[in-house]
């Protein structure tokens, strides 16, 4: 049995089934992410694990014990929310030490632990400040420290970085991952941001409509999406119906009879041939582009089929509006679904 084991968890809100027989295994010391679009049930799953909500069916085991019926306070699980939920009238020191004071630890031990935490989150000099004196990123570091100081068996994080601006968010993603690895803490992180999930996770569980549809390392999910939902959610794959793509490919014998869809990563489609075996999609019309930093995603169309192609951002290679080009794909890059 894994460190945290979720078995056949089921949850209904009225007539809506929000979680459908969810199984989840989390190994000790790992950071796993629940990734999925809004409303797929990520927060509900987290709240059931924390004990803030009670499931309609299923079991939860932590460190070999059945915790399904235990109250939230007795589960040894802490949670960090998007809204930092700090006590506004307490200093940073008092916020962080709160859980230890509740446990009635002696002052010296509390002081040592708080100072260690403050140093881990790089906020030693803010010990006497109040939450209102801190930036959003600093407040979230304090709420992280407050949750970690009681040494929970598992830390649950519900979109903890969503309220932060892009730069701070990137910094905290890396800081959080470093902290998790240094402490060997078991964490379950909820996000709808696939790049965030890729960056910080040991394992990602992709959720859709109340179910975990695929689990794997970031690399596994990116390389081998199991269906078109995962392919489009994780890698911005082009997903084509077989009937639509077969007629426009120069050679469609790679598409077996039982294939329903073909997924192709935008970065493997080329404007020049790379191999003799490349399949060609002829006379695609260039429509527009999205500049995504180092990558420019160019959108082409042929016979009503949209094709996204990722090019390196380079002023020399900007396509001309409405120009027609041939696109080249190595058949080994077809993901047959």
Ligand X SMILES: Nc1ncnc2c1ncn2[C@@H]1O[C@H](COP(=O)(O)OP(=O)(O)OP(=O)(O)O)[C@@H](O)[C@H]1O
Binding site for ligand X (CB under 6 A): 13, 18, 36, 38-44, 192
- In this structure, what is the dihedral angle of CA atoms 219, 220, 225, 226, given to the nearest 10 degrees? -170
- 216-222 contact pairs (CB < 8 A, 24+): 222/198
Q: Taking the CA atoms of 126, 130, 132 and 138 in sequence, report the sign of the dihedral they define.
A: positive
For residue 48, how far is the Cα from the chain centroid?
19
Smallest gap from residue 122 Cβ to ligand X (A): 29
Cα separation, 112 vs 107, in Å, equals 9
Smallest gap from residue 39 Cβ to ligand X (A): 4
Smallest gap from residue 38 Cβ to ligand X (A): 3
- For the chain, how many residues are written? 337
Smallest gap from residue 149 Cβ to ligand X (A): 26
Residues near 153 by beta carbon (within 8 Å), at least 6 away in sequence: 3, 4, 62, 63, 76, 77, 186
Q: 40 or 284: whose CB is closer to ligand X?
A: 40
Smallest gap from residue 153 Cβ to ligand X (A): 23
Q: Could you give the 3-state DSSP secondary structure of residue 106?
A: coil
- In this structure, what is the dihedral angle of CA atoms 133, 137, 138, 141, given to the nearest 10 degrees? 150
Smallest gap from residue 143 Cβ to ligand X (A): 18
Q: 207 or 335: whose CB is closer to ligand X?
A: 207
Q: Could you give the 3-state DSSP secondary structure of residue 273?
A: coil
**Burial of residue 168 (number of CB atoms within 10 Å: 0-12, 13-18, 19+):** middle
Q: 20 or 244: whose CB is closer to ligand X?
A: 20
Smallest gap from residue 33 Cβ to ligand X (A): 12
Q: 158 or 310: whose CB is closer to ligand X?
A: 158
At 48, list the tokens: 């059931």
Q: 192 or 261: whose CB is closer to ligand X?
A: 192
Q: 13 or 324: whose CB is closer to ligand X?
A: 13
Beta sheet of 295-302, edge-to-edge order: 305-312, 295-302, 279-292, 324-329
Q: 12 or 61: whose CB is closer to ligand X?
A: 12
Smallest gap from residue 199 Cβ to ligand X (A): 18
Q: 15 or 332: whose CB is closer to ligand X?
A: 15
Q: DSSP letter string over 209-267? A: TTEEEEEE-HHHHHH--SSHHHHHHHH--EEEEHHHHGGGBS--TTS-TT--EEEE-GG
Q: 126 or 192: whose CB is closer to ligand X?
A: 192
Asked whether 103 and 89 are in contact (CB, 8 A), the reply is no
Q: Could you give the 3-state DSSP secondary structure of residue 313?
A: coil
Smallest gap from residue 49 Cβ to ligand X (A): 12
């Amino acid at each position: 049995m894994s460190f945290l084991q979720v078995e056949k968890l089921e949850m209904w809100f009225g007539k809506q089934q929000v979680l459908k027989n969810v199984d989840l295994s989390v190994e000790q010391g790992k950071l796993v992410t629940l990734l999925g679009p809004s409303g797929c049930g990520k927060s509900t799953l987290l709240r059931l694990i924390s004990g803030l909500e009670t499931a309609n069916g299923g079991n939860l085991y932590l460190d070999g014990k059945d915790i399904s019926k235990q109250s939230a306070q007795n589960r040894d699980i802490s949670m960090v929310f998007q809204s930092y939920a700090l006590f506004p009238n307490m200093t940073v020191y008092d916020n962080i030490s709160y859980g230890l004071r509740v446990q009635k630890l002696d002052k010296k031990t509390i002081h040592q632990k708080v100072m260690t935490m403050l140093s881990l989150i790089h906020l030693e000099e803010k010990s006497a400040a109040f939450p209102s004196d801190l930036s959003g990123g600093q407040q979230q570091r304090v709420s992280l420290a407050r949750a970690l100081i009681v040494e929970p068996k598992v830390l649950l994080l519900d979109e903890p970085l969503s309220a932060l601006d892009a730069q701070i968010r990137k910094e905290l993603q890396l800081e959080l991952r470093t902290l998790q690895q240094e402490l060997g803490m078991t964490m379950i992180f909820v996000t709808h941001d696939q790049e965030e999930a890729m960056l910080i996770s040991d394992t990602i569980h992709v959720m859709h409509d109340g179910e975990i549809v695929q689990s794997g390392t970031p690399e596994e999910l990116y390389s081998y999406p199991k269906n078109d939902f995962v392919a489009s959610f994780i890698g911005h794959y082009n997903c084509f119906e077989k009937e639509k793509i077969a007629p426009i490919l120069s050679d469609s014998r790679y598409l077996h009879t039982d294939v329903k869809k073909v997924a192709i990563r935008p970065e493997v489609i080329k404007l020049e041939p790379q191999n003799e075996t490349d399949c060609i999609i002829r006379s695609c019309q260039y429509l527009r582009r999205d500049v995504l930093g180092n990558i420019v995603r160019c959108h082409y169309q042929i016979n009503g089929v949209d094709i996204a192609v990722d090019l390196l951002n380079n002023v020399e290679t900007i396509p001309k509006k409405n120009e027609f080009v041939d696109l080249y794909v190595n058949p080994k890059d077809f993901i047959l679904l």
